[in-house]
Structure 1
Amino acid sequence: MKKPVIGITMGDASGVGPEIIIKALSHSSIYEICTPIVIGDFKLLVRAVQLTESRAELHRIADVKESRSQYGIIDCLDIDLLPHDLPIGAVSSEAGNAAFHFLKKAVNLAQNGDIQAICTAPLNKEALHKGGHIYPGHTEILADLTGTKDYSMMLSSPNLKVIHLTTHQGLLEAIQSITPERTYKVIKLAHKTLTSAGMENPKIAVCGINPHAGENGLFGNREEEKQLIPGIEKAALEGIEVTGPYPADTLFFRAVRGDFDIVIACYHDQGHVPIKVLGLDEGVNITLGLNGNIIRTSVDHGTAFDIAGKNLADERSMIEAIRAAANLSPK
């Protein structure tokens, strides 16, 4: 079987992105499952090789077809936008602008079928905005570049998978934006994603919005009955094994125990906190529902400016993100 080509975007080059990419690609197991190609600035990758004392050879390419796909050689599609002395660990408009263009190039390659998935190193929102690109994060950029309206964020760790009804919104706005149709669509997306990955009849559980899932109207204004349950029932009628809403304070424990294959969280922190408590180093962020069936995975941590350039960054989340991209790629 032909190995998928994974485009790995450098993210904000002032952060830990370049060094975790170099460290991740020092693992031969990555090359056994995919052909990784770094989409970024070649000279900043050279700096990361020196920083990490990597023995890898860097190979600058202008086209995906020039990739050598060989362990020990790191292919870099050079998007030459940054100065060689870009400050490390600082917010930079240049780095923010470059991070956007690295991602834009990856989307173009995915749309043309030149790569089978995108894996992103972290960007910095302040730098992104200073660079002239006003987005909350990667997910919203990808949705805009692909013309996608209905998408969702999934977080995955070895013991827990979570998909979100809402993400980068204030809490009041997020709750108000949940509708039965949105609930139904995200349930369908979760089911499709897991079955496409080879899981038969996945068990899906939905979190409640209020404490104790409203406890029959005792808490809140019956948001569960109005905004969640109709969508759950509609999906269940189609044969999807989905139940809830359940109290969030016990649901994640039950999912980790193995009662459910994936949890649907209602808002950002409800889903992010349990994943990150389980371990930042193994979490993967996955964007689902992009037009063109584009696969995108990411590390589940930020640019870590405080340790950037010190060779302290842990590459495990990047390794898991690359593996997830390869596993979810079209076969």
Structure 2
Amino acid sequence: MITSAHNRKFPLPRILITLGDYNGVGPEVVVKALRQLKWEGRFVPIVVGNAEVWDFYVSQLGLRAPTHRVISCSEISEVNTICLLHCDQVKVEYLQPGQPCEAAGRASGVFLETAIACACRGEGEAIVTAPICKSTLWAAGYHYPGQTEFLADKMDASSFAMMLIAGKFRVGFVTTHYPLREIASLLVPQLISEKVEVVWRELKQRFKICDPTIAIAALNPHAGEGGELGREEVEVIQPTVDRLRQKGINIQGPFPADSLFANIEQKNFDVYMALYHDQGMIPIKMYSFGKAVNYTAGLPIPRTSPDHGTAFDIAGKNKADESSMVEAINLAVQLAEEGYPRS
């Protein structure tokens, strides 16, 4: 839980930015994004990582900006420098870009835990997370299917949902990291209602959309053809949609997924609810890959991340595109600024 309000000695919002897996492209896109962004006078970047990792990539990529190293957020007093929150408990082993290893997975878990702890103490107004490797994170003892679930658990978020955002094209997810063969059994009314409602509240409260319009996708081809191609729409999804509408939520569907995401510029939905991971990821990444933002609804503060993974195949080669990290930081700052007390 967040234990304190904004620290009023800071005239600007503080954005906690984790380095992610140090052998992936996370550190590179963070360095490049901060080199590109005009952050001075807008926000305070607090990079949560390790000095050895940071220095390695800064040297490799040539970032020229004043950096202030601290071991606690309480030491931060300046607003015109990049603050490096050094996690001294991390032992950097096998710093080899492109090579996944358990040590890097453990470090990514520590970086994320540290950012969460800072946020819960009121020492940051938003979190931006660089990509992690799920398998090495798991091997290091962090048993979460992804950072979304990690954050929700550590921040005591009883209801949360993953979203992908590319401008006004927003996709929310009912399920995320599950095998496809399990999806139908997971789609129970309680779960669908929970995810729709948390996304709806987020759009109203944090994105300031007065009456969010929601479209929900069907599971089966042609929305089940009245039950001929599957009963989930008739027995589960449509009754749940009807109950949500009775609660005052402006939701329509279920719509056949093959046409729902076509010509979105001509539609007036504020968010599209996908029932499973690839159903929503494919259209939004085709629409705006490299510039979309992963967002977690339901947390006490904004959390964003780029729309890509560790990309080990190009790590350390100065080939990673920082565009999505730039967008992730920009969205985090925008949302953090909404309620930030100005002096």
> Do they fold alike, i.e. is TM over 0.5?
yes
C-alpha contact (below 8 Å) 1:61/1:77 kept by paired residues: yes
Structure 2: 5+ residue stretches without partners = 1-7
Q: Distance between the aligned counterparts of 2:41 and 2:203, measured in 1?
A: 23
Q: Which residue of 2 aligns with 1:68?
A: 78
Distance 1:74 1:84, change over 3 A: farther
Q: Which residue of 2 aligns with 1:40?
A: 49
Aligned residue among 300, 303, 311 for 2:307:
300
1:85 CA drift (Å): 6.0
C-alpha contact (below 8 Å) 2:93/2:104 kept by paired residues: no
Q: Which residue of 1 aligns with 2:186?
A: 177
Secondary structure of the 1:282 match is: coil
Q: Distance between the aligned counterparts of 2:184 and 2:335, measured in 1?
A: 30
Letter in 2 for 1:34: F
Letter in 1 for 2:137: L
Secondary structure of the 2:226 match is: coil
Q: Distance between the aligned counterparts of 1:185 and 1:84, measured in 2?
A: 41
1:110 CA drift (Å): 1.2
C-alpha contact (below 8 Å) 2:94/2:101 kept by paired residues: no
1:67 CA drift (Å): 4.8
Secondary structure of the 1:134 match is: coil
1:63 CA drift (Å): 2.4
Structure 1: 5+ residue stretches without partners = none
Two-structure CA RMSD over aligned residues (Å): 1.8
Aligned residue among 240, 250, 254 for 2:259:
250
Q: Which residue of 1 aligns with 2:213?
A: 203
Q: Is 1:115–2:95 an aligned residue pair?
A: no
1:19 CA drift (Å): 1.2
Q: Which residue of 1 aligns with 2:19?
A: 10
C-alpha contact (below 8 Å) 1:187/1:264 kept by paired residues: yes
Q: Distance between the aligned counterparts of 2:107 and 2:68, measured in 1?
A: 20
Distance 1:175 1:30, change over 3 A: farther
C-alpha contact (below 8 Å) 1:111/1:294 kept by paired residues: no
Letter in 2 for 1:217: G
Distance 1:234 1:3, change over 3 A: farther
1:142 CA drift (Å): 1.5
**1:211-247 Cα distance to aligned partner (Å, 9 max, x none):** 1111211211x20122212221222122221111001
Secondary structure of the 2:69 match is: strand
C-alpha contact (below 8 Å) 1:162/1:264 kept by paired residues: yes
C-alpha contact (below 8 Å) 1:60/1:77 kept by paired residues: yes
1:256 CA drift (Å): 4.0
Question: So what's the TM-score if we normalise by structure 1?
Answer: 0.93
Aligned residue among 309, 316, 325 for 2:332:
325
Letter in 1 for 2:227: G
Distance 1:263 1:22, change over 3 A: same
Distance 1:272 1:28, change over 3 A: closer
Q: Distance between the aligned counterparts of 2:265 and 2:259, measured in 1?
A: 10
